[in-house]
Each structure stands twice: as C-alpha cells, then as structure tokens.
Amino acid sequence: MPIYEYQCKDCSKVFSKLQKISADPKAVVCPGCGSSNVERLVSSFASGGNQSSSSGYGSSAPSCTGFT
C-alpha cells in the first residue's frame, strides 16, 4: 500500500496518508483542521542501491571495470 502526501488548502499542513491505490482521494481529511479541501502532492520515491554516485541516483548493478 503506497503512502501519499497531501497538503491542506485551508491550513497549508502537509501530511502523509497510507491508503490503497484504489482509494478515493476526495475522502481524505486534513488531520490539522478537519478540512477535506486537500491536494495530493507529487513526491519522490525511495529506492535501494548504491547512493555513492555524484548524481545521487545509485545503481545496484555490478561494475564492469577490471574484467578482461
């Protein structure tokens, strides 16, 4: 089940909600003020792997250096 991030348009609170993909996003209520006037945010996702590359996007694929 994915975690979605929302922002309340009334009080500006940003919060996360664990919900099914098929769940109705219009049924989400702000935990701060109780408003249903919320917007789903586009968020980044986490992935495993090597995070040592300069771009910040690591790869878990083996390196081909040193092979003959």
Q: What is the pLDDT of residues 41-67, one digit of tens each?
A: 986 666 666 655 455 455 555 555 555
Whether residue 38 has pLDDT greater than 90? yes
Between CA 7 and CA 1 the distance in angstroms is 20
The reported pTM is 0.60
Q: What is the pLDDT of residues 11-31, one digit of tens each?
A: 999 999 999 989 888 899 999
Per-residue pLDDT, 6? 95
Per-residue pLDDT, 58? 52
Per-residue pLDDT, 49? 61
CA distances, 40 to each of 4, 36, 47, 55, 60 (Å): 7, 12, 21, 27, 31
